[in-house]
Structure 1
């Protein structure tokens, strides 16, 4: 495997998962604030109960902010592969290439969601085939003149293999209390010979927990005690040191946080984005 220390570090960038949890005017104001803080990407989760559909919301976000936008992440069993690919390609066209397709196999408990929608519960070994079908259809729609970046959320060996072959960005699905050592071992097992971008999903900043990025009952103290990579300190100096350490030691260059904690990290983002 290719280690982070043997290649040129990628410039840092920062994304914000910003679902519409309040009224739409308040969400628009939130987006404008994020655009002024140095964040590069506005991201939307794929959870029907929480908000409007990601595609239209991201089209609005791209217009308001001028930033990159993306899904974090589409669940492959929820819609046909061609439909996901068509929507992704359309967003790339409508945003002048500022859309990123985030995709995975679904959140824990997605079987209940699928039953509620009247959809079949696709076996896990089939879900990664669906992801491959999405990317294949997307590349056909994009043609030779476009390239919609694809971010994959992966956990097991099959997901890692598909991502190693097809993804532009990879984020790793891991228990929030997983130790730094265990996470580093997980990432060393990933075949990153193509030097794809490595992203880390950070639901906890200081004592602030993003409820749409972390499970119920997430305890910031437990994450700190585990030296978990799902946690960043709220102190700007400490957060800066930790972000640079993660890039140097592991190769993470893309940090994704929740909207409620984005303000606390804004000074760090302003200093580090693009470096």
Structure 2
């Protein structure tokens, strides 16, 4: 039994309150399910960003059904108790529409610009694993105690208590991260792996079907009998000819035209007319299980015709 498709917009080019409200309303009009915001305080790599939790509270008041999420918060920027308080409040103010996306943090230059220690990957990932356990307890309405290597919580509860725990979303690319996401998250975003030096891998191999299938297997193995939603961020390339659109992607990404056939098979690449993109999404749901796709706000209008083709 397949999950229904969901579609999100990543509001990465929003720079003002007016743009935020307009994008949120337009996303809702076009049939998107979720608006997500990134979490950066340096201009690279996506341009300047509004603070996500505050901005999403504002977007909630401009919409009625659109879900609101973070894609993703850096765990190191907020203590999990403070984050649980903000998440519970935002979930309450939005009428239960909030989805909490969290990652281990990866952009070294951002940490350094803020004077924050950029610890080795194992420490950052270990903190994230502990945070997720604390957040599951607090946002699940439980009186939470936790003692770990990084955090110690003694009998706390969160107010306002969520009517149902907001979904936890984790973006992950490495085996350990994918295992943690499979154990604790409700939605797992499959990503290229983050590199120890503080960037994201641009290797073609990280995007090939066998690599993605292996990553999905690691998530499912860790999830056990829990039903985890699989997600991916994509930037479709539309055009009447899928082959020509794929060649354009291969050249733009610096992989060369010889990689055109590889691009056609990449689970993160969707090329051609909307009908072809919808067919690709159905095929990849069957093969890998992906049902939640997010597109950047710059592609929001162009991608919209795909949504009714996949509406359940």
TM-score, normalization by structure 1:
0.84
**1:219 shift after superposition:** 5.3
Contact 2:20 2:59 in 1 (8 A): no
What is the RMSD computed on CA atoms of the aligned residues?
2.2
Match of 1:186 in 2: 215
Contact 2:275 2:309 in 1 (8 A): no
Superposition pairs of residues 1-275 of structure 1, within 5 angstroms: 8-49=1-42, 50-66=48-64, 67-107=66-106, 110-142=107-139, 143=141, 145-174=163-192, 175=201, 177=204, 178-190=207-219, 191=221, 192-193=223-224, 194-206=226-238, 218=253, 224-226=260-262, 227-273=265-311, 275=312
Contact 1:20 1:52 in 2 (8 A): no
**1:234 shift after superposition:** 4.8
1:134-163 per-position Cα deviation (integer Å, ceiling 9, x unaligned): 223323432054301101111222212211
2-structure distance, mates of 1:88, 1:129: 21
Runs (5+) with no aligned partner, structure 1: 1-7, 208-216
**1:54 shift after superposition:** 0.3
1-structure distance, mates of 2:291, 2:20: 27
1:59–1:224: structure 2 CA closer, same or farther, 3 Å change rule? farther
2-structure distance, mates of 1:130, 1:254: 26
**1:115 shift after superposition:** 1.7
**1:99 shift after superposition:** 0.6
Contact 1:81 1:131 in 2 (8 A): no
Higher relative contact order at CA 8 Å, sep ≥6: structure 1 or structure 2? 1
**1:64 shift after superposition:** 1.2
1:203-252 per-position Cα deviation (integer Å, ceiling 9, x unaligned): 34338xxxxxxxxx635976754232222125111111011111111100
2-structure distance, mates of 1:58, 1:189: 32
1:171–1:27: structure 2 CA closer, same or farther, 3 Å change rule? same
**1:85 shift after superposition:** 2.4
1:97–1:224: structure 2 CA closer, same or farther, 3 Å change rule? farther
1:205–1:62: structure 2 CA closer, same or farther, 3 Å change rule? farther
TM-score, normalization by structure 2:
0.75
Which of 1 and 2 has greater Rg?
2
Contact 2:229 2:290 in 1 (8 A): yes
2-structure distance, mates of 1:102, 1:234: 30
2-structure distance, mates of 1:105, 1:73: 9
